[in-house]
Amino acid sequence: MADKNDTVLVPGERVQPEVDEAEAVRLLQRLYACSATHVEELSSYDDKNFHIKVEPSTSCGVTVSKNGCVLKILNSLDSKFPEAIEAQNRLIQHIAEQGICTPRPLPNLQGKLWSLERQEKSGDVRFVVRLFTFVPGRVFVGVAYTPALLHGIGKLAGKMDSACFSFSHPAFSNYKRIWSLTEVPKLTQFLICITDPQQRHLVAKVLRDFDDSVVTNYTKLKKGVIHGDLSDNNILIQPSASSPGEFQVVGFLDFGDATHSYYVFEIAILLCYVLLGACAGEDPIELAGHALAGYLSEFPLPKPDLSVLKICVTARLVQSLVLGAYTASVEPGNKDYVLQTQSKGWSLLHTLHARPATDVYTTWGRILKQYNLFFQF
């Protein structure tokens, strides 16, 4: 069946805006009447994001804190579906009202939370431009994982999904991106970028398992609005006030992948990046169990969802490896960021795929019992 929209990436398509820091400053001035005092480009797969410090306020009456703001220029593909931008903005407002911390969009000179702009280097292609508040902290990448921090992240993710469960918007019902786990079967179109025959064979096996175990059981899975990208780059942490040298979770960034989907995908994505970020000598499966316990303590999932959790985690790992390799091939200037998964991802994929599901679920069940949670996988 054909997609209901054309926001799913296809091979050969380049979608990242060609915007540098100077152009970002000009956009900020023209659209928000803000004068930049400092600008720094942030890492991103397909968009362009800039952390900008500005003069105290804009002429449209919006106060920008001393921490600055983030100017986001959306990729050309997602910019074709402005209804999703409206849905994301309303979702952000909804979960913020439920106490979940996340950057919030700011109005431009026209009082709008986004605008479509044409860039000089892009011909007739137009990009959605938005300005967000900047929340102090650092992303989850590169810190030592502790059970307490992982449990806290999982717990806040569960609270967020509990808030998302009461939210709906028609734009999310037919909005998909290649990073949506529902699009995992389409990774076969991108396998040309995987040159190692053994790696390609393993990917194909995971895709078949996902189709057999997950796709055929969609009707049994808990569904609603999800964030859709709880990667370590989208989890915001700060030093703990009560435990020196440790961190605590603050909130979540970037709702660009939010959609109406399956909640097992949400926790699977989070667990995938916990596995990738675990230090050598640690059992990543055991560490992931603490994040899972936090999540389930706030947002329980039924047995059909938990029974496919391992293959969903494995599928997300495959998705990151394949799309990372593909994006690096079409955006070589961004390869350091998009290939983060590759260094240990393939080894982890082999290990995770070979580890029996019963072993994984036994480990997670043991961790859950430490938090007085009892679930049958």
Which positions are annotated as active-site residues?
229
Name the residue among 237, 334, 336, 247 with its Cα closest to residue 18: 334
What residue spans of the chain are helical by DSSP H?
21-32, 82-97, 147-164, 197-213, 263-277, 284-298, 303-307, 309-330, 335-338, 342-354, 357-370
Q: How far apart are the C-alpha atoms of 359 and 356, rounded to whole Å?
A: 5
Tokens of 177: 């991106």
Name the residue among 179, 257, 263, 279 with its Cα closest to residue 222: 263
Alpha carbon distances (Å) from 6 to 79, 226, 229: 11, 20, 20
Name the residue among 174, 125, 143, 130 with its Cα closest to residue 13: 125
DSSP 3-state assignment of 268?
helix
Please give the single-letter amino acid code of residue 116: L
Contact 87, 171 (CB under 8 A): yes
Tokens of 185: 């079967």
Tokens of 182: 């529902």
Alpha-carbon dihedral sign for residues 137, 140, 145, 151: positive
C-beta neighbour count of 44 within 10 angstroms: 21
